[in-house]
Each structure stands twice: as structure tokens, then as C-alpha cells.
């Protein structure tokens, strides 16, 4: 189930704001920040079992800020973030993990790191259909039966 329906509008705005603070955009490396709409959509779509802890972290942030995080000036946001790191506990750690997990699986970020956007095997080598020769060493070993306890 999408967290989009489980988080309030204010929580989603605060998530976007704190994500941008965790990973800002970089023109130098040509990568978006974690507040990018595609990355945010991925976060909301995949929160799953982490939704409650992320919501708790966002509620804690809101209490510390006393207002929506996005509406605060940069200095006040930084002070709130510092306090949040100290007092956020497991919820803060989960929030940071979710942001980083979604950020580092974005194709644009992977490309900037020089990581291929495909499975590492077979690395361009095409295996002919029906060629089972890769299994010859396994077949040569013969069967092995073990006693089950």
C-alpha cells in the first residue's frame, strides 16, 4: 500500500524538505536531490513496513520545529535537524535509511556513480538458447544423498 495515503500533506512536505537536507542536488555531479519528484514518488510507493516509523519521525520533527519544516528559514531548519539527530532514535535512523535507499537506486544517481543499469551477468555475453554446457561440471559430480535428521 502506498504511503501517499497514510501520510498527511504536511508530513509529505516535511519528508521532501528533510530529504533535500540529507541529500541536496548537485550541479557539479549532475544529480538530483533526494527531494526530486521521482525519488519522492519512489519513497512514498515503497515505504511499506517503515511507514509508521517514518510518520513518527516526521511527527517528532514537527514537534521540534513547531511549524512545517518547509516554512522555516535555513538556520532554524538546521537547528531542528541537529536536535532531531540527537533525539530521533530509531525513527530518525529509519527515515534516513529510507531517504538514502530510494536516492541511491535512482538511475540518474547510479549513472553518476558509474554503475551499469543492468544486471552484472552476462555482461554483454549472449548465451545461446538451450546451451546447458554451463551445468556440465555440476552433472559430472554425480548425485549426493544425505541423511535427513
Tens of pLDDT, residues 52-77: 999 999 999 999 999 888 889 999 99
Integer Cα distance of 39 and 46 in angstroms: 11
Backbone φ/ψ region at 30: left (φ over 0), alpha (ψ -120 to 50), beta = left
Report whether pLDDT(22) > 90.
yes
Which pLDDT value is given to residue 54? 95
Amino acid at each position: 500500500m502506498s504511503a501517499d495515503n497514510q501520510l498527511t500533506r504536511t508530513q509529505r512536505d516535511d519528508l521532501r524538505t528533510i530529504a533535500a537536507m540529507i541529500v541536496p542536488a548537485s550541479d557539479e555531479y549532475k544529480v538530483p536531490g533526494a527531494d526530486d519528484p521521482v525519488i519522492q514518488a519512489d519513497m512514498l510507493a515503497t515505504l511499506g513496513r517503515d511507514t509508521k516509523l517514518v510518520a513518527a519521525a516526521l511527527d517528532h520533527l514537527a514537534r521540534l520545529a513547531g511549524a512545517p519544516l518547509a516554512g522555516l528559514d535555513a538556520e532554524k531548519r538546521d537547528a531542528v535537524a541537529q536536535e532531531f539527530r540527537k533525539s530521533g532514535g530509531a525513527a530518525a535512523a529509519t527515515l534516513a535509511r529510507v531517504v538514502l535507499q530510494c536516492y541511491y537506486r535512482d538511475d540518474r544517481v547510479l549513472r553518476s556513480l558509474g554503475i551499469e543499469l543492468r544486471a552484472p551477468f552476462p555482461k554483454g555475453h549472449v548465451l545461446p538458447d538451450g546451451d546447458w554446457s554451463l551445468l556440465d561440471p555440476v552433472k559430472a559430480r554425480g548425485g549426493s544423498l544425505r541423511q535427513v535428521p
